[in-house]
Structure 1
Amino acid sequence: MNSQDQLHRFLFESLNIRGEIVQMDASWKAVLERYAYPATVRDQLGQAMAAVILLSATIKYDGSLILQAQGKGPLHTLVAQATRERTVRGLARWEGDPPTGDLASLYGNGQMMLTVINQGGDRYQGIVGLEGSTLADALERYFNDSEQLASRFWLVADGERAAGLFLQQLPAEGDSQEGWQRIGLLADTVTPEELLNLPVQTLLHRLFHEEQVRLFEPEPVAFRCTCSRERIGDSLRAMGREELLAILEEQGAIDVDCDFCNKHYQFDAVDV
């Protein structure tokens, strides 16, 4: 079993198609150590984290990339965030025991948002309805509608690993639909077990052994939370002096837990 957390990029030499594969082991377990997620919620979060790493190598930005799904169903909030350094974090919020099923049964009438935040503060956000059976379906719809580039996603997660496969057809002169359809049919044969556990070179050979595939050097992926005492302090400052003093008078200190990593921060009267 391949146990490294890595993002692999590849392309097809004779076709205008690029691809990526991500496999997360320790970075995924670091998220699971912080919260006890029900299996259905866990798998959705793992798929979202795999997706946001794949997207981090596809969308141009110099800050952070956030994939968020929201709805009024049992699983009402799902957030995965990646940086261009391939660090990732994620969280989910749910009620009761979310059922297995399509997106509607999990999220209700929900939507998926993809937000790009650049270093200078510039922000771009795209929104699409959460329609289809899987997060992969919703992502494909987003790319086909907003980016106008045919794109396919295969996402999977369990209690040990999370992984994803991404294919995208690049702009080209002439009709290249036959090649795109052929590669898509080949990729559709991948099983969750193969995507989670096979070394990438082995997986690519199994799927595309009759194609000319160029595989680039992998990039490491790691869990990392961007919370800090300074950032939490900035958030508290935005609440205003009077409200903070009222909390101090009632509780003696201000306690804040990071939703992503569960780290605890405490601020006393001197801090305020």
Structure 2
Amino acid sequence: MSELHKFIFEGLPVRGALVRLTGAWTEILARRQANSATGAWPPPVAELLGEMAAAGVLMQSNIKFNGALVLQVFGDGPVKVAVAEVQHDLALRVTAKVLGHVQPADRLPDLVNVHNKGRCAITLDPRDKLPGQQPYQGVVPLHGDHGEKLARLSDVLQHYMLQSEQLDTTLVLAADAKVAAGLLIQRLPAEGEGNLAGKANEDEIGLNEHYNRIATLASSLQRDELLELDADTVLRRLFWEERLMRFPAQAPRFACTCSRERVANMIRSLGREEAEGIVEEQGGIEVGCDFCGQQYRFDAVDAAQLFASPGDQPPVTSAVQ
């Protein structure tokens, strides 16, 4: 079962979270494999998406937000865009658009940042939008302050959190064909006049030292350990000298928000003329969900009803009891 474990370090402004996506991740890969129209993602793309899924769960779990967190990376490599979406209840889904050839050894710069023009976007999309309310989005480049390419997704997200949220963050991410996992350590903002004035006092210096020590321990976690060891073992090995307060585990899961109604609305947005043209050429309209592989088919009658006025709809009859 997929698990998310959140914890804090007692007496210190440092929090952490560890996620291991097992069943949720293998279901995503199995659905993609079973989709005859697409087939499985190349291993480097699947690894990137697994890391994005783990990172999305970690980031969503740290905010009080009733809506979707959408993590995207896009650029000029063979992967035009990769997306991980995590809902407030930790339901997640991922997809990617791959238009070029992917080599087995390709990593983030090769996949989406060939000419150093790649971007990472994090969007918070409220579930119940107020009139005129727009999603919040932050965008950062896939390079550091001096133009150097960032080699790992964790580097990009650490840079994002520091630049956009002013939060020191340490991330360790890994994924393979069975598990997508991640560890997050984050320094909470200091409070009080010293912080507001931008002055470091002795207490704050000490707290920085605590965060740096814990971040160093987290960074020592190896990829194989993160993928193979259970959460209790990982936390015990890394932080056996620290006092942890752990919260009840949560269970991320795969879930897709696609529906026939949403597809119908998309077809309506094309307009009657274009929809009728597709029906005439192909005999119907078939749309597949990029996230889960579900196929939706609208034949000529279905498509016509999408554009019929309410008065033109056939009457609904019901049996009399």
Within a 5 Å distance, the mapping from 1:110-189 to structure 2 comes to 110-121=118-129, 122-131=134-143, 132-173=150-191, 174-175=203-204, 176-189=207-220
Deviation at 1:104, TM superposition (A): 2.4
Tell me how far apart the structure 2 counterparts of residues 99 and 237 of structure 1 sit (CA, whole Å). Answer: 41
Question: Residues 112 and 129 of structure 1 are in contact (CA less than 8 Å); yes or no, is this contact kept in structure 2?
Answer: yes
Answering whether residue 99 of structure 2 is matched by residue 97 of structure 1, we say no
Within a 5 Å distance, the mapping from 1:73-112 to structure 2 comes to 73-94=77-98, 95-98=100-103, 100-101=105-106, 103-108=108-113, 109-112=117-120
Deviation at 1:231, TM superposition (A): 0.7
Deviation at 1:67, TM superposition (A): 0.4
Tell me how far apart the structure 1 counterparts of residues 92 and 45 of structure 2 sit (CA, whole Å). Answer: 18
Tell me how far apart the structure 1 counterparts of residues 81 and 20 of structure 2 sit (CA, whole Å). Answer: 24
Q: Which has the larger radius of gyration?
A: 2
Greater strand fraction, Structure 1 or Structure 2: 1
Question: Residues 74 and 98 of structure 1 are in contact (CA less than 8 Å); yes or no, is this contact kept in structure 2?
Answer: no
Tell me how far apart the structure 2 counterparts of residues 104 and 52 of structure 1 sit (CA, whole Å). Answer: 20
AA at the equivalent of 1:119: R
Deviations 1:155-195 (A, max 9, x none): 00011110000111001243111001100111111111221
AA at the equivalent of 2:44: T
Tell me how far apart the structure 2 counterparts of residues 77 and 189 of structure 1 sit (CA, whole Å). Answer: 30
Identity of aligned residues (%): 41
Within a 5 Å distance, the mapping from 1:189-268 to structure 2 comes to 189-268=220-299
Question: Residues 48 and 108 of structure 2 are in contact (CA less than 8 Å); yes or no, is this contact kept in structure 1?
Answer: no
From 7, 15, 18, the equivalent of 2:15 is: 18
Moved more, 225-234 or 196-205: 196-205
Unaligned runs of 5+ in 2: 33-39, 144-149, 192-202, 304-321
Tell me how far apart the structure 2 counterparts of residues 183 and 77 of structure 1 sit (CA, whole Å). Answer: 34
The equivalent residue for 1:63 is: 67
3-state SS of paired residue (1:34): helix
Tell me how far apart the structure 2 counterparts of residues 255 and 98 of structure 1 sit (CA, whole Å). Answer: 32
Question: Residues 43 and 104 of structure 2 are in contact (CA less than 8 Å); yes or no, is this contact kept in structure 1?
Answer: no
Greater helix fraction, Structure 1 or Structure 2: 2
3-state SS of paired residue (2:163): helix
Tell me how far apart the structure 2 counterparts of residues 252 and 56 of structure 1 sit (CA, whole Å). Answer: 43
Q: TM-score, normalised by structure 2?
A: 0.81
The equivalent residue for 1:38 is: 42
3-state SS of paired residue (2:102): coil
AA at the equivalent of 2:141: G
Question: Residues 66 and 81 of structure 1 are in contact (CA less than 8 Å); yes or no, is this contact kept in structure 2?
Answer: yes
3-state SS of paired residue (2:93): strand
Tell me how far apart the structure 1 counterparts of residues 75 and 31 of structure 2 sit (CA, whole Å). Answer: 23
Question: Residues 99 and 105 of structure 1 are in contact (CA less than 8 Å); yes or no, is this contact kept in structure 2?
Answer: no
Q: TM-score, normalised by structure 1?
A: 0.95
Question: Residues 13 and 187 of structure 2 are in contact (CA less than 8 Å); yes or no, is this contact kept in structure 1?
Answer: yes
Moved more, 167-176 or 42-51: 167-176
Tell me how far apart the structure 2 counterparts of residues 213 and 98 of structure 1 sit (CA, whole Å). Answer: 42
Question: Residues 102 and 111 of structure 2 are in contact (CA less than 8 Å); yes or no, is this contact kept in structure 1?
Answer: no
Deviation at 1:100, TM superposition (A): 3.0
AA at the equivalent of 2:252: V
3-state SS of paired residue (1:238): helix
Tell me how far apart the structure 1 counterparts of residues 252 and 152 of structure 2 sit (CA, whole Å). Answer: 24
CA RMSD of aligned residues (A): 1.3
Deviation at 1:200, TM superposition (A): 1.4
AA at the equivalent of 2:151: S
The equivalent residue for 2:51 is: 47
Question: Residues 90 and 260 of structure 1 are in contact (CA less than 8 Å); yes or no, is this contact kept in structure 2?
Answer: yes
Question: Residues 255 and 266 of structure 1 are in contact (CA less than 8 Å); yes or no, is this contact kept in structure 2?
Answer: yes
